Structure 1
Amino acid sequence: MSKTKITVNNNGSLIIAGDFEIVDKNGNEYNLGGREQVTLCRCGLSANKPFCDGSHRNHFEHEAVAFDLPPKKV
């Protein structure tokens, strides 16, 4: 399995692919049923949070364009 790749979709979800695990606030792992790729909700409308169910359609706008963060503060 390759390293984790996160893709930010325009007007939609985050696609996570590769070698990863997803845990809740208590550190309990979500059972991903053997999936090597999932989509996470960014809009807050999904009935299946944290996973995307497509509810964002026509309700969420964001153009995903990469940019550089400022240097890390030390």
Structure 2
Amino acid sequence: MSIERSERSERPTIVLCPGGPMLVRGEAVVQTQDGATHRTTRPVSAICRCGATSRAPWCDGTHKLLPKERRPD
């Protein structure tokens, strides 16, 4: 997965939440492993890091249901 800044804005700010999603603040384009691109539409977007979401690439909170050893660092 890669994150690129939008042509119209500043560089996005990225925060990795321990055991949870990657938070992207600002406009960005997220590219998934299969090459699909998704533009952020919220001031802060939560991107899945555990791979268990049903709304890829966006986090749906599924990481909270996973055992700690399966959650992202």
Q: Specify the TM-score bucket, using the shorter chain as the normaliser.
A: 0.5 to 0.7
Q: Radius of gyration: which is bigger?
A: 1
Deviations 1:12-45 (A, max 9, x none): 000001132224544x64254x412210101111
Quick one: percent identity of the two aligned structures? 21
Task: Looking at secondary structure, tell me which structure has more strand per residue.
Answer: 2
Task: Looking at secondary structure, tell me which structure has more helix per residue.
Answer: 2
Q: 1:42 to 1:57 in 2, by over 3 A?
A: same
Is it true that 1:59 corresponds to 2:66 in the alignment? yes
Q: In structure 2, list runs of 5 or more residues that go unmatched.
A: 1-8
TM-score (norm. length: structure 1): 0.61
The runs of at least 4 consecutive aligned structure 1 residues that moved more than 6 Å come to: none
Q: 1:37 to 1:45 in 2, by over 3 A?
A: same
Question: Letter of the aligned partner of 1:21 in structure 2?
Answer: V
Question: Letter of the aligned partner of 2:20 in structure 1?
Answer: G
- The 8 Å contact of residues 17 and 36 in structure 1, kept in 2 or not, is answered as yes
- The 8 Å contact of residues 11 and 60 in structure 1, kept in 2 or not, is answered as no
Shift of 1:60: 5.5
Q: 1:10 to 1:49 in 2, by over 3 A?
A: same
TM-score (norm. length: structure 2): 0.62
